[in-house]
Chain A
Amino acid sequence: MKPFSYARPGDVAEAVREVAAEPNAVFLAGGTNLVDHLKLGVATPDLVVDVRTLTSQEVTDLPDGGLRLGAASTNSEVAADRRVRERYPVLAQALLAGATGQLRNAATTGGNPLQRTRCVYFQDVTTPCNKREPGSGCSAVGGYTRYHAVLGVDAALPDPDAPGTCIATHPSDMAVALAALDAQVQVLGPSGARTLPFTDLHRLPGDDPATDTTLGHGELITAIDLPPLPAGTRSAYRKVRDRASYAFALVSVAAVVTDDGVRLALGGVAHTPWRATRAEELLRGRALTDDVVRAAMDAELAAAQPQPGIDGGNGFKIPLVHRTVVATLRQLTTEAQA
Chain B
Amino acid sequence: MDAEISLRVDGESHRLTVDTRTTLLDALRERLGNTSPKKGCDHGQCGACTVLLDGRRSLICLALAVAHDGAEITTADGLAPAGELHPVQQAFLEQDAFQCGYCTPGQVCSAVGVLDEVDRGWPSHVTEDLTGDVELSHDEVAERMSGNLCRCAAYVNIVPAVQQAGGAR
Contact = CB atoms under 8 A, between A and B. Distances in A.
A31 B24 CA distance: 12
Contacts of B168: none
A6 B67 CA distance: 8
Contacts of A97: 125
Interface residues of B, number: 39
B43 to A, nearest CB: 5
Contact of B67 (A31, A40, A89): A31
Interface residues of A, number: 38
Interface stretch (A14-22, A76-84, A140-148, A208-216): A76-84
Given A101-B117, A101-B147, A105-B57, A52 B125 contact: no
A271 to B, nearest CB: 23
A79 B122 contact: yes
B146 interface: yes
B147 A38 contact: no
Contacts of B114: 101
B84 to A, nearest CB: 26
B130 to A, nearest CB: 4
Contacts of A5: 1, 20
B154 interface: no
Contacts of B127: 96
B135 interface: no
Interface string B115-147: 001001111110100110000000000111011
B42 interface: yes
B21 A1 contact: yes
A93 interface: yes
A223 interface: no
B29 to A, nearest CB: 16
Contacts of B47: 100, 102
Interface string A43-81: 000001010100000000000000000000000100110
A28 B58 contact: no
A28 B68 CA distance: 12
A4 interface: yes
A80 B144 CA distance: 14
Contacts of A1: 21
Given A4-B21, A38-B21, A245 B125 contact: yes
A97 B158 CA distance: 22
Contacts of A80: 117, 120-123
A85 interface: yes
B56 interface: yes
Contact of B62 (A48, A76, A106): A106
A286 interface: no
A97 B117 CA distance: 16
25 contacts: A5-B1, A6-B1, A6-B20, A6-B64, A35-B63, A50-B67, A52-B67, A79-B122, A80-B121, A80-B123, A86-B130, A96-B125, A96-B127, A97-B125, A99-B147, A100-B47, A101-B113, A102-B50, A102-B58, A103-B62, A105-B57, A106-B62, A106-B63, A245-B125, A246-B147
Interface of B: 1, 3, 19-21, 23, 42-44, 47, 50, 53, 56-59, 62-64, 66-67, 110, 113-114, 117, 120-125, 127, 130-131, 142-144, 146-147
Shortest Cβ-Cβ A-B pairs, 8 listed: A100-B147, A245-B146, A80-B122, A6-B20, A105-B56, A246-B146, A96-B125, A85-B130
Interface of A: 1, 3-6, 8, 28, 31-32, 35-36, 38-40, 48, 50, 52, 76, 79-80, 82, 85-86, 89, 92-93, 96-97, 99-103, 105-106, 244-246
